[in-house]
Structures are given as C-alpha cells and as structure tokens.
Structure 1
Amino acid sequence: MTSSQEPKKQELPPTAWAMLGLLSFPGERTGYELKKWADSSLRFFYWSPAISQIYAELRRLEELGYASSARSGPEEARAKRRYAITDTGREALAGWAADTAEAGPPVLKHGLLLRIWLGHLAEPERLRAMVAEHIERTRGELASVREAVEHAADVPEWAFPALALRWSERQHLAELELAQALLTDLEELDAAAPAAGPTAGPAGRQADGDAPTPG
C-alpha cells in the first residue's frame, strides 16, 4: 500500500470495511447479494447496513481502488453490476482486521434496559410485558442464527464466519437467560413494593437533601 492510500484507509467507516470483508470471500457479488448476506450474518453480531449505505460504500471502495465492478453480460435479462475485491483492497482489509486497537470494546445499547431503568415511571404490568415481548423476539432471532449456522457449516470457505455465528448463538442464549432473570427480578420487586403510584421514583422517596443519582 502506498503512503498516499494510508490516510484514506484510516478514514473508512466500519460499513465500508464490512462490505470489503464480504467481498473478500470467493466470487463476485451484487449490492443486493451483499445486503442479503449482511442480513443473514453481520446483523447477528454487529449490524446490517441499509442498501443505500452498501452502494455508497461500494462506490467509495472503487474510488480507492479497493474494489472493482463490471456489468453482467447480455445473457442476463437485466444487467447487474457485480463487485469484487482487488489485491490492494485485500491488503488494506488484512491490515485493518489485524488492528486490535481500532476494534475497541463492545458497545451495548439496550433499549429495553433503558426503559427498565425508568421503571419508576411505568406500570409494573407493562414492564413485565415488555420483557416477555423481548424474550419472544430473542427466541425468534436465536432460531434465525441457528439457521445461519447450519447453512454456513456446509461451506468450507465460511469456517470463520461460522465461528462468529456460533458466538452469536451463545450470546442469544445468554440474553434469554438474562431476560428471564430480569422478569423474576421485576416480579419480586413488585411483590415487595408498598402500595404507591407508578411515578414514585427514588427522588420521591427522599425526605430531605439532594435526589440520588441512579446508576
């Protein structure tokens, strides 16, 4: 890689590296195919970008010389542009993947837990219903992950994506266990709570002084 390309490499967002990563496996793929693959793999442990993001990053990768594209031949009813990684792109991707400092710690943004944190403003029944809904949704995601794991197991080139998917399977199992424990915690808290309105939060129980700082 030339020194002029190094600053550009550092400026690429994770979406671009993810698209280049999908292209690093054998074969050429359309933007639509990349979206389908992201939906069946990346979303289980990272995220799945919108199709508009995918095409925007593919154009950026081409400008950098990290990817190339060509339209399909006249034998197809509708011409499609297929993308492939270049040698320069593979070298840049390998360098980025080996950079552990850039990976950083995992970031958890749990929408349900934010609402539990504000539980003093909600009805106990609604909180328990939200957790129950989360459990059912997680079970559905777990079934999808297991389907993806089974599919990846049949493709030798996907050995490492299969490892990531198996990690995601274990993560979803842990999420189910945590959600079940949270449901039990809510039931115990509700049983032990005095007869008070749903808005009686920690600050409302302070007789004097400053309100406590939760969390």
Structure 2
Amino acid sequence: MLETVILGMLALRPLSGYDLGKWMDGPGRFIGYRVTLPQVYRTLAKMGERGLVAFQVDPREGKPDAKIYTLTTAGKAALLEWAHSPYEPAPRPMDPDFMLRFLLGGMFGRDIAVEVLRAELDYRREQVRNPTRVGELSAAFAPIDEVDPQWAAQVLAAGHEQGRASTAAYIGWLEVTLADFENR
C-alpha cells in the first residue's frame, strides 16, 4: 500500500522522502494509513532498485542534500495498471484501500472515480440490508464472573449503533459524491 501512495504522490509532482513523510503525517493521514519516515525511505530505496522511481540529488546549503524522486516509465505503468484494476471493497467501512483508490486512482479520470464510488456504495448498501443481529450474539454470552452479561450487551449494542450511524453517514457521503461526479 505504501508503494501505491508513493507512486500516486509522485504522479502529482517530484518529492523528497521527507516531503512524502510530511504529507503522510499531514493531509495524507485521512487515507487511514500510518507510516514512519524510515518506512518511507526504505520503500523508496526498494522502489528505486525495482526501477519504479528515480532520483536526483538536490544540494542544500547548510543541510544534508535531498534526493528528489520522480516516477520512471515503469513506475507510471505500475500506477496506471493499479488504477485501472478492479476495485473490491473491504468488509470494513471506510477502509484505507477505498480512499487510496478514490484519491489516487480517481485522479486519472472521472470514469475511474465514479466506478470506485459506485462499487463502494453498492457494497455498503448491501451491508446495511443484511444487518448484524447484536441481540443474537449477546443472548449467547457465557461471560466470566467479572462481566455482567446485561451490561456487556448494552455496551455492545451502543458500539453497534455507533457503527451503524457512521456507516449511514458514510453512505450519505458516497451518494452525494457519486451524484456530483456523475453530473459533471
């Protein structure tokens, strides 16, 4: 996944490893995928060995020189292949793979963005059509002595309702965004 993020960001502009790490701690944190700067540098080195990225050294006065990375032809091809590959939603709503597909795949055109949104929306609608039966789960509790089964059932029900409310809001966002993109 980190390779895909790096390829996608380099499709927008050349960046140093530090800039990539800074982006992932800033605006990129909403993708839902956390990494450390050493992970970024290791991944860039591996991608360079595989011919997906190249770099030029940018001399910095009074600071260490920076490597500024760009996509190679192979890197562009790998990113485009990924962007055009079928998207399969994950069981977990708001999975980082969706946001990656939407942001980094969708930047290659309206059709890709709409296809990803539609697949995610259809999957989430089907999920809410077949809700989890929390009562059945809590009826089968056989807890240890320190757990009050009625209280545990209440906590589980509250958590479940938060998930349902979150999913409903997420579906609303998907619907509005899909309608907006389809009408452009």
- TM value normalised by structure 2: 0.48
Larger Rg: 1
- TM value normalised by structure 1: 0.42
